[in-house]
Amino acid sequence: MQPRCSDTIIRLDIEADLLSNVLLEMEPDGVVVVCDTHTRELCLPHLLSRLGSYTPEVITIEPGEQNKSLETISLLWDRFYHLNLSRKTVVILLGGGSLLDIGGFAASTFKRGMPCINVPTTILAAVDAAVGGKRGFNFNETKNIIGSFYPSSYVGLDPGFFRTLPLTEKLSGWAEILKHALLEPDRKALIELLKEDRQPETLSLQEWGNLISRSIRTKQRIVEEDPYENGVRQMLNLGHTFGHAVEADMLHNRKKELPHGFAVAAGIIMELYLSFKLLGFPQELLTKVCYYIRDTYPVVPFNCKAYNTLIAYMEQDKKNRGKVISAALLKDIGLYAYGTPLSPTLCKEAMDFYRDLYNT
């Protein structure tokens, strides 16, 4: 049972029975939940109360990006094997982006694919990993370098899970929402976001739900146009060419996990700078977004000695053709220029711009 359509979103906060109805419709021969030690404690009881008569097996893995590894994949395959799961078993993935990525990859490859329901428990995961079918794990210190395209059958969205998120987590999701707003041809979404009274710390759950739903729609529109990322889907990597590099550098060379959205926010600054420099992205918008990010996100610390390391990470980016770094830039808000080649010199200039902005 390989799902080919893109993910259908169901709002669990609005209709409580939806999830058990969806399961009834899918006619699984069993249900298994994959969660991590955090979501097991904080989110699993609530999820279980939504499953009607289904009593799933529960598999718990360690949380975090550093566990998105071959070892965890092997462990998941081994658990699936010993539970004797079949291609008709539904796998519910309950967690943040890392869990959806690695749990989804394991599910997509066990017996060549079991149907999945993504239940994101962070805002970041809701607007990013939960939609669009990208699965994967890290290998040789390179993020998501092994993976598959495998959409979930459903995404169960419950803003209730976001209630207890620390501000760091909310900010991390906010950066992806900001990225999606930059990809909307209409400036309205962006202007709304940058308003002073609409800060991540002050939104109600209802407001989060609506904001996330809108953000997901932007992503879905782009994914449906180009599910296997041969073209326009590359735009979803805005901020990620540099973002992934600083994220990998922090993780492997400083042994510190940088929240993904913080890395993306830094990446957006560097990539909007290059959009301005190479493609005439409006300077006033560049300034507005960069100041907003600077005032909202802490600096990602790196100095000029790290430049070559960062560039080496960028040369491994999946979007590249050969070794030439390729970035998804913007001519203007909603005006796409994916596949823009970047020289190491240009990359360094963008890093200088970032450090100047933060005065480091």
Residues that bind a copy of itself in the complex, under the rule CB under 8 A:
1-2, 4, 29-30, 70, 74, 77-78, 81, 84, 86-88, 108-113, 134, 136, 139-140, 142, 145-149, 227-230, 315-316, 318-323
* Shortest distance, position 180 Cβ to a copy of itself, whole Å: 21
Q: Which is nearer to a copy of itself, 136 or 209 (CB)?
A: 136
C-alpha R_g of the chain: 20
Measured from the CB atom, is 28 or 173 closer to a copy of itself?
Answer: 28
Token pair of 352, please?
């200088």
Measured distance CA(180)–CA(101) in Å, rounded? 20
Q: How far is the CB of 274 from a copy of itself (least distance, A)?
A: 21
Structure tokens that stand for 289 in this block: 């977004």
What DSSP string describes 6-67?
Answer: PPEEEETTT-TTHHHHHHHHH--SEEEEEEEHHHHHHTHHHHHTTSTT---EEEEE--SGGG
- Write down the least CB distance from residue 342 to a copy of itself, Å: 15
* Nearest residue (CB) to a copy of itself, 30 versus 301: 30
Structure tokens at 121: 């428990």
Closer residue to a copy of itself in complex, CB, 61/266: 61
CB of 110 to a copy of itself, least distance (A): 6
Residue for token pair 């805002």:
123
Min CB(4)–a copy of itself separation in Å: 8
Q: Are strands 89-95 and 57-61 parallel, antiparallel or unpaired?
A: unpaired
Question: Least CB distance from residue 323 to a copy of itself, whole Å?
Answer: 6
Q: Which is nearer to a copy of itself, 107 or 290 (CB)?
A: 107
| Per-residue b or e along 86-121, where b marks 16 or more CB atoms closer than 10 Å to that residue's CB | eeebbbbbbbbbbbbbbbbbbbbbbeebbbbbbbbb
Nearer to a copy of itself, 110 or 281 (CB): 110
Closer to a copy of itself at the Cβ: 217 or 319?
319
CB of 114 to a copy of itself, least distance (A): 10
Looking at the DSSP assignment, which residues form a beta bridge with residue 347?
A: none
Compute the distance between CA of residue 99 and CA of residue 124 in angstroms, rounded to an integer.
12
